[in-house]
């Protein structure tokens, strides 16, 4: 995720990191070169003039813009829902550990609940990014919990189960009052709902046919556009074709990028930083040393993963 002060209007014109221009540069160059060739031969292909004007492009362009707007709105809704779910993880984790510290009596070992909650957050991040969580689990949990969680297929769910077992054990042993159980259960349920919501987003992409239709239409539209412009604007055809193509190619690339918000692209969610933030706030509540805060490094300024 790009984290930076908003540059002024002039610098914004030349920003590359966080934009999709590097990704669409080959397509944009190809369309521009095609427009130059069409301008030079004035719309003729093998001595045959392609009889096009701007009218069909106006109609198709309007429909394509509406379709792209719908696609990007859907992608952004997925991105924002994912961010909201991670906000729920932060709040519910704080509430759960706070109750473990304040409502449980001596001997309840609230640090164990806190560590299992921290491990749950890291395990969820690794599950969403299909990476190995073992290093984080070994850093946070004791060996017995590492062995149990590490052997599970769905590690975040098992870690939530282990957090619930802490609550149940202390309830049976009289260290937690029965009247406090609904509050503990509410926080655990919120964590479960956030887990399920993230899994739903990660496992259910936007239907593929939307991407196919938009992709084909954009490429056909941009490829034919120079032939419809050359008779009206002449030498300006490459410039206008490049500008229109940039708009459509960029909107398609942006929608595709934020559709999957849990990856490593510049505009995806900074799951590493958010996981570390949750760990830091829980360890501070537990009066434990805080891990280093995640900040952009010198090689990737303004970029958090």
2 within 8 A of 302, measured Cβ to Cβ: yes
**Of 94 and 58, the one with more pLDDT:** 94
Dihedrals phi, psi of 303, to nearest 5 degrees = -115, 125
- Interacting residues of 246 by C-beta distance below 8 A, sequence separation 6+: 21, 24, 28
Residue 261 has pLDDT above 70, yes or no: yes
86 within 8 A of 270, measured Cβ to Cβ: no
Residue 163 has pLDDT above 60, yes or no: yes
Query: What is the average pLDDT across 243-271?
Result: 89
The pLDDT tens digits for 266-279 are 888 889 999 999 99
Residue 4 has pLDDT above 70, yes or no: no
pLDDT of residue 296: 65
Residue 298 has pLDDT above 80, yes or no: no
Q: H or E segment at 45?
A: strand 44-45
pTM value is: 0.87
Residue 87 has pLDDT above 60, yes or no: yes
245 within 8 A of 61, measured Cβ to Cβ: no
- Rounded to whole angstroms, how far apart are CA atoms 77 and 224? 32
Tell me the torsion sign for CA atoms 260, 266, 269, 273. positive
DSSP annotation of 103 reads T
Q: If pLDDT is split at 50, 70 and 90, which confidence band does 230 have?
A: confident
21 within 8 A of 250, measured Cβ to Cβ: yes
Least confident of 120-134, 155-169, 173-187, 286-300: 286-300
The pLDDT tens digits for 37-47 are 888 887 676 66
């Amino acid at each position: 995720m790009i984290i930076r002060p908003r540059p002024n209007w002039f610098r914004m014109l030349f920003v590359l990191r966080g934009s999709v221009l590097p990704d669409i540069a080959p397509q944009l160059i190809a369309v521009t070169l095609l427009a130059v060739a069409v301008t030079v031969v004035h719309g003729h292909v093998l001595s045959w003039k392609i009889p096009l004007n701007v009218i069909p492009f106006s109609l198709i362009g309007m429909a394509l813009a509406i379709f792209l707007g719908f696609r990007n709105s859907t992608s952004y809704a997925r991105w924002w829902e994912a961010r909201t779910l991670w906000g729920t993880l932060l709040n519910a984790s704080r509430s759960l550990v706070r109750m473990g510290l304040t409502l449980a009596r001596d001997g309840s070992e609230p640090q164990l609940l806190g560590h299992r909650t921290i491990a749950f957050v890291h395990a969820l991040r690794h599950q969403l990014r299909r990476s190995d969580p073992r290093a984080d689990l070994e850093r946070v949990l004791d060996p017995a919990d590492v062995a149990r969680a590490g052997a599970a297929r769905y590690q975040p769910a098992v870690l939530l189960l282990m957090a619930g077992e802490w609550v149940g054990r202390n309830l049976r042993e009289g260290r937690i009052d029965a009247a406090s159980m609904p509050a503990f259960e509410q926080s655990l349920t919120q964590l479960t709902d956030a887990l399920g919501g993230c899994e739903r987003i990660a496992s259910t992409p936007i239907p593929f046919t939307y991407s196919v239709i938009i992709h084909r239409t954009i490429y056909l539209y941009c490829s034919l556009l120079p032939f419809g412009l050359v008779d009206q604007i002449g030498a300006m055809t490459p410039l206008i074709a490049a500008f229109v193509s940039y708009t459509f190619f960029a909107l398609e690339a942006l929608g595709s990028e934020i559709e999957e918000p849990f990856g490593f692209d510049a505009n995806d969610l900074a799951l590493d930083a958010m996981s570390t933030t949750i760990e830091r706030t829980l360890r501070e509540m537990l009066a434990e040393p805080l891990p280093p805060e995640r900040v952009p490094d010198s090689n990737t300024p303004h970029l958090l993963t």
